[in-house]
Chain A
Amino acid sequence: MRHVRVLLSIAVATATAGCSADLSLPDEVEFNRHVQPILSDRCFSCHGPDANARESQFRLDTEEGAFAVLKGEEGAHAIVAGDLSSSVLYRRISSADPAEVMPPPESNRTLSDREVALIARWIEQGAAWQRHWAFIPPRPEDPPDPIRDWPTVNAIDRFVHARLAEARLSPSPAADRATLLRRVTFDLTGLPPTLEQLDAFGADDAPDAFERVVDRLLADPAFGERMASLWLDAARYADSHGYQDDLERTIWPWRDWVIHAFNSGMPYDDFGRLQLAGDLLPEATLSQILATGFNRNHMITQEGGVIDEEFRVAYVSDRTSTVGSVFLGLTMDCARCHDHKFDPITQSDYYGLFAFFNQVDEQGVIDYQTRVPRPALRVPYERVRSELGFVTALADGDSLASMVMADMDTLVRPTHVLERGRYDMPLEAVDPGTPDAVLPFPDDLSPDRLGFAEWLFDPANPLTARVAANRFWSMLFGRGIVSTEDDFGSQGARPTHPALLDWLALELVRSGWDTKALLKTIVLSATYRQSSQAGAELLAADPDNTLLARGPRFRLPAEALRDHALAQSGLLVRTIGGPSVKPYQPEGIWEEKTGGGGGSLARYERDSGEALYRRSLYTFWKRTVPPPSMMTFDAPDRSFSSVHRQTTSTPLQSMVLMNDPQLIEAARALAYRMIDEGGATPEERVTFAFRLMTARHPDSEETAELTAYFDEELERFGTDREAAADLLAVGELPHPEMHDEAEAAAYTMVVSAIFNLYETITRT
């Protein structure tokens, strides 16, 4: 009876699908798109890849398991294609009996009515099984036909438009030129365009005007800095060791290698290969060895009394999970203690990967004050000059030392599966290897990091190119085609545009892993160039812009917010690379947390002069007390790898933008520029600053608002000269004698307001 009632309710749900958004079902239910995410999230914990956690010997993560005869239920099957009433799975998920229903109520994994209905329809439609999408290599697929009257530049638009047409949406018109120039300049260099660049592009009617802009930006050394600032998160780069007393380390030469690699157009496969295994190449160059600093960026402890092996194992685990998420988009870390709950990665797979990184000649606990714990690369000055030309910051005669990878010469360290991941509980020994579900490790590759890197960039690897292409996409659109950039597994989000992702991945490989070429293709697309303006209707139809009926819009990342103000105020110092710098930071925040060891980073000794005005990616990163203004704007603390930042909005962010001395000083510098270069009247000067920060002219009301405010402040500072002098004393920049203090102070407040505009802090 109960059974009948449930069936009836499904029938009702299906019949009313047209009017109930909640229960509307797709006409054709596709396993990978609709069903597998439910099974993964609600069922795999107990009926998935982890053999030790599997209940009733029933598994739903493989086709074989899902259709097998159920143990203990004679002749019964969980899923019988096309036959709902014989499918025990359906009976259990739709049961009203708490003792029978699956998942059990206490698991907090209960299925919604819609989810039950989806699975039901899938079974009725024949229960076609598919392998997890991300483990099937990308398939070449012709882009859909272009849609008439919709501007189409390349294949990207054809994929996007087809999806829009399905959803009965249409693309937005192109963004105006100034907006587009600002957008692409921030995206590719992390910096704003100059007024001259805005004027030039605005006046350039040639059909290839935008393409030439893109070429110019990709050739700008700031491109490498922008790309590096993203990579530093992924690589968990920092200038300190991270644990406990958190002492200084030297690995900035690796950061400079990254900048150089991007600027020189190094193909992405070489970029990855060198960072993973440059030291193992025959006749490895200094540059190739330096690249391997990537895998030494993890935290290292110097805490007294620590058990060495416990931490050495932690470092190897860190490399394993970092490589897993950064290159493979897999949450390998889940398999450190047990078989993965959701993805076909066993605990032995984890330790197989771990084995590649387990041969490093390193210590778990380093001596206090060791800045370059072994293995280290030490290069005399002369060889730095001749072989590492991009490292320019050395004082005459100094030698260079940086942390790198190097395996032990002779001894091979056996790798064991570790029970619950515990360093002191070894189980069976494993050889270096990779998860079979991704791509079996070929016999002809060397079982070391170099072999691993070859495996990673084998075109047959279904993940590497997709994960990379997705990350490049995300940097330009604010979210990936797969929004969970570090998880392409069964718990990750499904691609919003699967065929497009595959096209981009194949294009990346086809071009010889040419990063710049792929970025160029994406930004030239009409999809990228759309206006980001959304009307109420579009906002309601697609609030997250997953279908790309409009251009991307998001708050500037932490680095760009500060660099923007420095650049437009004229303070920015464009030196590339070198040791990290210590700009303004609130007093005492290192000191108050410093312990007995004290050590090299006990006190924050602020730099002065040019070091105050370097790009933000050069700001010294002390892991236990990271730069607070950057943290407030969602920078990760770099304790571990992170491939995607949140974009939040909080009151603390407002306070940084209002009061950070770095920004007040920049406002002051821009005020002087306004007076010197911005014209003669307040209107002209306000327009000058407004345009620098937003790339557009203010309208008359905006100008009026700002000039009225200027008048108010001029009057205030005119009567309160002391207040003006106080404001103009913020920061090291001297007040130029020729400027009237009240006027400069009033413009400083005006600029501060412009710095805080939504349009200033947003890339539209």
Chain B
Amino acid sequence: MDEIEREIHYTMNRRHFLAKGSLGLGGVALGSLLVPRLFGGSGEEVSGEGADALLRGVLRTPHIAPKAKRVIYLFQSGGPSQLELFDYKPLLRERNGEELPAEVRMGQRLTGMTSGQDSKPLAGSQFEFRQAGTEGIWISELLPYTAEIVDKLCIVKSMFTEAINHDPAITFFQTGSEQPGRPSIGSWLSYGLGSMNENLPSFCVLLSRGTGRPNGQPLYSRLWGNGFLHSLHQGVQFRSGEDPVLYLNDPPGTDRESRRRWLDRLNALNRRKLAETQDPEITSRIAQYEMAYRMQTSVPETMDISREPEWVYRMYGPDSATPGTYAANCVLARRLIEQDVRFVQLYHMGWDQHDNLPDHIRKQAKDVDQASAALVMDLEQRGLLDDTLVIWGGEFGRTNYSQGELTRTNYGRDHHPRCFTVWMAGGGVKPGVYGETGPFGYNIVRDPVHVHDFQATLLHLLGIDHERLTYRTQGRRFRLTDVHGRVVQDLLA
């Protein structure tokens, strides 16, 4: 029996099978439907990648033994202030109000928002820090729940980036380039490692809006775009509300049963054409419709957190019962990971505290603290933390001097690309604090980690050599880390 015949056979059987009901989550893996050239796409041909690589990933075997299989990236959009959260700098309090010394700034560039500001008064954090965990790691009073799990965290205090404005900086973090158009991290992983799930996309995206600065920075759908990779690798946004994935819902006046009948008719007609033409693209289409049909069931089931037990809401905090909040998205992230979605990307907006920082960051931290910590603990108790990497961080940090007037109770902070803090947990990272900034919290004094280093390390944890996962287009091989990046060995467990 050749592949096409087998496919027809399969679909026929499936049709009968489905006609009898039993539409659980356990569909048949798309991989089993694959025939040569199942998915068209000229870019793939240029790169010489086989068609089935699309779902299985182009890497037949990982480059390195993987430590993590899945990733949850809790992106804190806007640039959280490391000085209020993780990077304890008592000197700034002692010298509160004094000018930023020139030898600390070293002529480094500033954004246009403060480059013209006459005075750059050092601003000590208004928040207390205390030591937590067995190692006595300093952490802010704004993060009491995070403090509880600090022993599980790998805290990198020496992250730095190149961009100084939101759009290029966040694009850089997510795609390895400040210019738009490159694939996002999740797309690269989908391309390299493929999907572990036949009912859900391998790269899912969840958005939430912060209370710290409700009108914070915008987001751009290109941040989870597939760039030049096959569109199967694009991040799919999961939304709270009626339409959890765009165009998922059947039109009014139809239900599951009528959709199934509709689809059976469509399949029958398409199969007739397949038998006549043997055009493999038709096989592909039939498979895509079946996947869509399964997603119509699996996505709402996954998104429905109403049946989570009460203790889950207690654990993730009161917001978690409200769809669309960061906390609810953390619960969803766990549910998606439980179903072996490869990469779950959250974005929480509102960390851009140029002014009224004390008030705003208090709310903003409250949005995320409990749920982030709960997510790590929840994954751990379900045995998922070992091979799931959790990342928490934004696109840059904030200045040690006040943007605008520094008063006894109020100040703001401008963008600061030269040092900031990111934490990771699970998935093969070594708990502890890595890197160090100077007493002014302005420059890194030990173990700098560039964005490309972070990306190289992330890929390494998933078994990928960042120099070898490439896609050829426009005359060259592109990769997430461009031509840079090194794996930070000291971060590995």
Chain B residue, CB-CB nearest to A624 = B220
Chain A residue, CB-CB nearest to B44 = A646
A730 engages B222 (CB within 8 Å): no
Chain A residues within an 8 Å CB radius of B247? 586, 628-629, 632, 652, 655-656, 658-660
Q: Which of B252-303 contact A (CB under 8 A)?
A: 252-254, 258-259, 261-262, 265-266, 268-270, 272-273, 277-282, 284-285, 288-289, 291-292, 295-296
**Does A653 make an interface contact (CB < 8 A)?**
yes
A659 in contact with B250 given A305-B415, A650-B232 (CB within 8 Å): yes
B262 engages A652 (CB within 8 Å): no
Q: Which of B22-42 contact A (CB under 8 A)?
A: 36-42
**Does A719 make an interface contact (CB < 8 A)?**
no
Chain B residue, CB-CB nearest to A331 = B475
Give bound CA distance, A593 to B474, whole Å.
Answer: 31
B288 engages A588 (CB within 8 Å): no
Chain B residues within an 8 Å CB radius of A536? 278
A interface majority secondary structure: loop
B250 engages A658 (CB within 8 Å): yes
Give bound CA distance, A250 to B219, whole Å.
Answer: 22
Chain A residue, CB-CB nearest to B251 = A664
Pick the residue among A493, A553, A625, A658 that contacts B46 (CB under 8 A): A493
Chain B residues within an 8 Å CB radius of A589? 246
Give bound CA distance, A190 to B209, whole Å.
Answer: 41
| Binary CB contact string for chain B from 218 to 241 against chain A (1 if under 8 A, 0 otherwise) | 111110010000111010100101
Give bound CA distance, A67 to B228, whole Å.
Answer: 38
A534 engages B279 (CB within 8 Å): yes
Which one of A171-179, A217-225, A670-678, A702-710 contacts B?
A: A702-710
Q: Which of A583-630 contact B (CB under 8 A)?
A: 586-589, 592-598, 623-626, 628-629
Pick the residue among B269, B289, B467 that contacts A108 (CB under 8 A): B467
B42 engages A483 (CB within 8 Å): yes
Which one of B106-114, B310-318, B419-427 contacts A?
A: B106-114
A648 in contact with B230 given A486-B474, A753-B266 (CB within 8 Å): yes
B269 engages A753 (CB within 8 Å): yes
Most buried by B among A108, A596, A628, A656: A596
**Does B128 make an interface contact (CB < 8 A)?**
no
Interface residues on B, range: 35 or more
Chain B residues within an 8 Å CB radius of A733? none
A624 engages B42 (CB within 8 Å): no
B41 engages A647 (CB within 8 Å): yes
Chain B residues within an 8 Å CB radius of A656? 246-247
**Does A243 make an interface contact (CB < 8 A)?**
yes
B265 engages A758 (CB within 8 Å): no
**Does A306 make an interface contact (CB < 8 A)?**
yes
A655 engages B292 (CB within 8 Å): yes
Most buried by B among A533, A543, A652, A729: A652
**Does B165 make an interface contact (CB < 8 A)?**
yes
**Does A279 make an interface contact (CB < 8 A)?**
no
Shortest A274–chain B CB gap in Å is: 27
Give bound CA distance, A624 to B266, whole Å.
Answer: 35
A652 in contact with B281 given A593-B207, A647-B42, A758-B270 (CB within 8 Å): no
Chain A residues within an 8 Å CB radius of B181? 637, 639-640
| Binary CB contact string for chain A from 717 to 730 against chain B (1 if under 8 A, 0 otherwise) | 10000111111111
Shortest B293–chain A CB gap in Å is: 8
Give bound CA distance, A301 to B288, whole Å.
Answer: 39
Chain A residues within an 8 Å CB radius of B217? 244, 595-596
A654 in contact with B41 given A244-B167, A597-B218 (CB within 8 Å): no
A305 in contact with B43 given A592-B239, A629-B247, A661-B251 (CB within 8 Å): no
A624 in contact with B221 given A646-B41, A758-B285 (CB within 8 Å): yes
Give bound CA distance, A342 to B220, whole Å.
Answer: 33
Shortest A117–chain B CB gap in Å is: 18
Pick the residue among B218, B251, B285, B467 that contacts A594 (CB under 8 A): B218
Shortest A748–chain B CB gap in Å is: 9
Chain A residues within an 8 Å CB radius of B239? 588, 592
Shortest A629–chain B CB gap in Å is: 7
Q: Which of A111-148 contact B (CB under 8 A)?
A: none
Q: Which of B308-360 contact A (CB under 8 A)?
A: 349, 352
Chain A residues within an 8 Å CB radius of B36? 543
Give bound CA distance, A624 to B171, whole Å.
Answer: 12
Pick the residue among A306, A587, A593, A727 that contacts B251 (CB under 8 A): A727
Shortest A750–chain B CB gap in Å is: 9
Pick the residue among B214, B221, B273, B291 that contacts A654 (CB under 8 A): B291
Shortest B35–chain A CB gap in Å is: 11
Having A301-B167, A305-B113, one finds 10 other A-B pairs with CB under 8 Å, namely: A533-B277, A534-B278, A592-B207, A624-B219, A628-B246, A632-B247, A637-B180, A656-B247, A658-B259, A664-B251
Across chains A and B, which 7 residue pairs bring their CB atoms closest together, nearest first? A596-B215, A727-B253, A595-B218, A305-B111, A491-B475, A305-B113, A726-B252
Offer 24 A-B interface pairs, CB within 8 angstroms, sorted by A. Answer: A244-B166, A305-B111, A305-B112, A305-B114, A307-B109, A334-B476, A343-B475, A489-B475, A539-B280, A588-B241, A595-B215, A624-B222, A625-B221, A646-B43, A647-B40, A649-B288, A650-B232, A654-B285, A724-B253, A727-B253, A745-B253, A749-B254, A757-B270, A758-B270
